[in-house]
Amino acid sequence: MKARSLIPAIFVMAVGTLLADTKPALVVQVVQTDDSDAYVDAITKVNALVKARTGIERLRHVWMGDFAGDDSHGIFVVSEFPSAAAIYTTQDKLKDYPEMDALLTRLKGLRHLGASYLYKAVRYDGSYEGGAVFNTTIKCSDEAAYLKALDGLKAILVANGFKDAKVNLWRMVSGRTESTHLVVIALPTDARVGELWDSLTDKELLADWYVAAAKLRTSLHNGSYREITK
């Protein structure tokens, strides 16, 4: 994932309805570490503590850039929440937690935190645990029209042997630089990403789609990433 990735009593019923309609939020944290294996092991322990306190299964997911330009071999921690508000309610639940505080103190010796980005889902098919993704950051001029274009993209993929492709569109909410959205095509394995690339290049699977989409967005960066969480 591109790194350059949650009242008063009179309002309770209204807020409950609002939150029920919210879409997932995604936090992408850039991490610098000289020992990715030790860092992944530490995140496994963090996830266990998070689950013990909140019930959330594997909140933190560690990803590594493969063929991703400047992001290649980079480490990213990706956390998904049911809403942006849930980011903060989860943080509150992890306060006054000595075991977590001790582990985070040890983590300081393993990593340096870089930029952090917050996204909200606009189109959400989901992802694969331990899977891989092909990401594209874009500058979009017409989100509604681009959503329809992504429906067309999904139909092309399904018709050409990629029924397992999950197409997601995330809107940049906070931390934005130049891009407005992140397009994520999730697949079960990095080998499937490779097969997708073969189809895109050898068969020019999306040649016409790219021409039409160019009227709605400018591609800024793309790359493949794989999850390395244990």
Topology, domain 123-227: Alpha-Beta Plaits (3.30.70)
pLDDT of 5 reads: 34
Q: Any idea which residue has 């309610």 for tokens?
A: 89
pLDDT at position 126: 95
Q: From first to last of its 230 residues, what are the pLDDT tens digits of the chain? A: 444 433 333 333 333 433 446 899 999 999 999 999 999 999 999 999 999 999 999 999 999 999 999 999 999 999 999 999 999 999 999 999 999 999 999 999 999 999 999 999 999 999 999 999 999 999 999 999 999 999 999 999 999 999 999 999 999 999 998 999 999 999 999 999 999 999 999 989 999 999 999 999 999 999 999 999 99
The listed CATH number (3.40.50.620, 3.10.20.70, 3.30.70.100, 3.40.50.300) that belongs to domain 9-120: 3.30.70.100
* Eight-state DSSP code of residue 1: -
Q: Taken in order 122, 207, 130, 68, is the CA torsion positive or negative?
A: negative
Q: Name the nearest CA neighbour of 183 among 113, 128, 135.
A: 135
Which DSSP symbol is given to 7? -
Q: Is 52 left (phi over 0), alpha (psi -120 to 50) or beta?
A: alpha
Q: Determine the pLDDT at residue 21.
A: 62
H or E stretch at 40: helix 36-54
DSSP, res 73:
T
What is the H or E stretch that residue 9 is in?
Answer: none
Instruction: Please answer whether residues 118 and 25 qualify as being in contact, where contact means their C-beta atoms are separated by less than 8 angstroms.
Output: yes
**What is the rounded CA–CA span in Å between residue 118 and residue 47?**
20
Eight-state DSSP code of residue 11: G
Helices (H), 94-134: 98-107
pLDDT of residue 22: 80
Rounded to whole angstroms, the Cα distance separating 57 from 174 reads 25
Check for a shared fold between 9-120 and 123-227: yes
Residues 6+ apart with CB under 8 A from 220: 136, 137, 138, 139, 178, 179
- pLDDT for position 26: 98
pLDDT score at 16:
41
Closest CA to 178 of 218, 123, 215, 132: 218
Output the six-digit token pair for 35.
């020992």
| 85 residue type, one letter | A
For the chain, domain boundaries? 9-120, 123-227
Question: Would you give the distance in Å from CA 119 to the centre of its chain?
Answer: 8
Give the DSSP H/E element, type plus range, for residue 68: none
Global confidence as pTM: 0.88
Tokens of 11: 């309002």
